[in-house]
Amino acid sequence: MLRAFTARRIAAAAAYGGGGITALGGITFGLVVAEAKLARRIIQATPNGDPPVADGLYGGTLPGPPLSLVMLGDSTAAGLGVHTAAETPAALLAAGVAAIAGRPVRMTNVARSGAQSAALDGQTGQALQVRPDLAVVMIGANDVTGRVPPGTSVRYLSDAVARLRAAGCQVVVGTCPDLGTIKPLMQPLRWIARRASRQLAAAQTIAVVEQGARSVSLGDLLGREFAADPISMFSEDRYHPSARGYAAAAAAVLPSMAHALGLQPGLDALPEVRLGEGVLPVYLAAAEAAEISGTEVSGASVAGRDRGPRGRWATLLRRRSAPAADTPPPSTAVAPDVA
């Protein structure tokens, strides 16, 4: 019941622009910020440089006109922490979509390291210039560490998704990652960061589904794997994912991208969801997704209606594919044919 109550508050904040969707007080959040500053000192001691450029045409020998794919978001979407373009999530996702669709895919990445959700306004303008068929958004971590009110973060994301959808673009959003997995963060602030991350992820899910797009929860999926093997799942800066970490994220998002394009769903309804034949109010679906790894949330209808007495209807789906350990290594990704 507590989780449902929290989800109701998140839903209200996402719908009406409230900023108080996190239960953390100002003093507690201040400690998170202080700890984040310490973590940044550790992180910045390791040079990163710019992420590899993965823009270009993937599957250029395949028949048909290219699909236009864009990436928006922060350093995770940009691929900071790896050394080659083929290891970035943009390359992995572009190559994956090309293989599933049997068509070329032109990747355009407008994500930038350090970006908060406010940057999505400008990034969306850039993305729309290439008339995207599909957009992938990964954002949120810098909002948490930057103490951006969650309601503010959600509004920026909602506006960006609405603009993309209005242009006929399908949208998949990888929600805020679990900051409790970051190595430089220490307890108890690691737990606090995890809580704030999941609450923002749930709020993002509500906003995304309300705008007719899909969300995929990344935090818990990556959290367990990163915690079990932090050396190989994190890059040298101990903050950003490694090539293997990005492959795990790509494995979670790719089936939803295919599903959005009507290519290959690769998803099953969660068996424990029974209401309305697998349908829940979106605020409850968001709360569940924040706790279940690799879960997609998308809009649904009951008796021909997409809204019920408690808001938008939504469906919970999960990946059918095996865990990231079975994901082909990043080195097998198809390099772009055109830089």
Catalytic-labelled residue, pool 133, 178, 240, 242: 240
Catalytic residue among 74, 133, 178, 237: 237
Helix (H, G, I), strand (E, B) or coil at 259: helix
Q: Which of 55, 74, 75, 235 is catalytic?
A: 75
Alpha carbon distance 18, 26 (integer Å) = 16
Look at residue 28 and give its three-state secondary structure.
helix
Nearest partner of 173 among 252, 241, 61, 229, judged by Cα:
252
Q: How far is CA 6 from CA 150, 202, 324, in A?
A: 14, 10, 31
Q: How many Å separate Cα 4 from the centre of its chain?
A: 22
Distance CA 10, CA 36 (A): 24
Catalytic: 237? Answer: yes
For residue 51, the number of C-alpha atoms closer than 13 Å in the C-beta half-sphere is 31
Report how far residue 61's alpha carbon sits from residue 261's, in angstroms, rounded to the nearest whole number: 21
Give the chain's count of helices (H) and strands (E). Answer: 12, 11
CB 77 within 8 A of CB 138: yes
129 CB-near residues (< 8 Å, 6+ apart): none
Tokens standing for residue 129: 């210039």
How many residues does this entry show for the chain? 339
Q: Annotated catalytic, 75?
A: yes
Q: Which helix (H) or strand (E) holds 317?
A: strand 311-319
- Return the active site residues: 75, 237, 240
